[in-house]
Amino acid sequence: MLRLYDTRRRQVEPVVPQGARSMRMYTCGPTVYRHAHVGNLRSYLLADLIRRVAERHRVRVVACRNITDVGHLVDDAETDPTGEDKVLAQARAEGRTGLEVARFYEEAFRADTATLNMRPPEHSPRATETIDLMVEMIAKLIEKGHAYATPDGSVFFDAASFPSYGEISGNRLDQLKPGHRVEGVDPRKRFHADWALWKPSDREMTWETPWGRGFPGWHIECSAMSLRFLGERVDLHTGGIDLRFPHHEDERAQTDSAVGHEVVDHWVHGEHLLFDGRKMAKSTGNVVLLGDVTEAGLDPLAVRLALLEHRHRQQMNLTWDTLRAADKALRRWRSRVAEWSESPSRPMPAERVSRIEAAFDDDLDTPLALRLLRELERDDSIAPGSRFEAFLHLDQILGLDLSIDIGRSPSLPPGAAELLEQRLRARGARDWTASDRLRDELAALGVRVADTPEGQTWSAGTH
């Protein structure tokens, strides 16, 4: 069964209860004010891989990934109400309304995830369409003594009312200092580490509540939506490592306080992605979008393959060279699958496939899985038909469209597939005389054969 590193418990453990046939998974979705870059997309690939591996175990996954289209401050780590909403700031820059900007970038995000073969979640709620859920939850937290309203219309969560705060990130309340954007302690707060659940404002995209007009704090959105769409027991919560604190700490405190018990069983985080050794940022000019990859003439799924070369818990440095190498490998695999499809089908090499599947089960050890897959590709002792079946089976997890070239290349003439298989065996036995003779026979049939470091390749056509 799938085992993952649980950030809160600091260990690798099974994430689906023994005998369970379903799994509920929540993923923190995008703030839709700009295009997602490939570093953002790495976090969503993590959730997609988890889903694909779980489904291979015949576990039905019910996934929820929210859309944050309001209330997200410029500095995510602060709850300073004078901070600016990212969506509205972008709307002003583009001369559009906040909702127009949000919907545009939401569609762009959906297109990018579809291009990378990420399966859509069952639930994709928008913050602007679930305000009533947040207001109801805030009222419940006030009633239970976990939150308090202030005269200006703000509502804060009482951090001290949740003693186990810090179990995910290790940032305990008694160690936290006031934020760098706030001089001294906010006088409205009982404790400087309290955070805003509701913020007063009369700007665009605000709502009337019992505490006055305003908009929700960032953290309350995920709490309200996860409870509404997944219920009070969530098996798995994923997100980037940057969300571990404060977002996931605050979300856990809110959700558990409202319900009265631990809601999320496992917290799983993906590490940062660097590009050319630096964190992706507009200021450094190294932000790479999926569109940049396709404009460079590379298959967008080369991004998916490149990201699979590192484990989700490892910081990864992506470069254009690694993307070009991934694109080359992807095209080679598709060509080989198309070539193998011309051979008679054979049963998969069960032991080899099981080892690759076990690597995915072991905390998503994708580098090992790819290494074993390359060994299988080069092993000419395994019949082409067997390798064909294995690669297509494993592509259900890889999501690389490895069968896309089948039928695109010219079909082999009668008898050529058998000669190619004989030549592979001859080369494996270092019988160069037979190898050369078979090359000539294939050439007479119009099949040109080339030997590359990755193995034998062929092309068919007139001769």
Residue numbering of the annotated binding site for Zn(2+): 28, 222, 247, 251
Answer whether 294's CB lies under 8 Å from 352's CB.
no
Distance CA 6, CA 268 (A): 5
Among positive and negative, which fits the CA dihedral 108, 24, 254, 129?
A: positive
Answer whether 166's CB lies under 8 Å from 249's CB.
yes
Distance CA 112, CA 103 (A): 14
Q: Which two tokens stand for residue 349?
A: 């090499």
Distance CA 409, CA 358 (A): 33
- Binding residue ranges: 28, 222, 247, 251, 282
Among positive and negative, which fits the CA dihedral 375, 380, 384, 389?
A: negative
Answer whether 50's CB lies under 8 Å from 2's CB.
yes
> 394: helix, coil or strand?
helix
Closest listed residue to residue 25, CA positions, set 67, 76, 59, 58: 59
Answer whether 226's CB lies under 8 Å from 246's CB.
no
Distance CA 222, CA 197 (A): 12
Distance CA 99, CA 91 (A): 8
Q: Give the burial string for 412-422 (b: 16+ CB within 10 Å, else e).
A: beeebbebbbb
Helix 131-143, helix 249-259: angle, nearest 10: 70
- Binding residue ranges for ATP: 282
143's CB contacts (< 8 A; 6+ apart) are: none
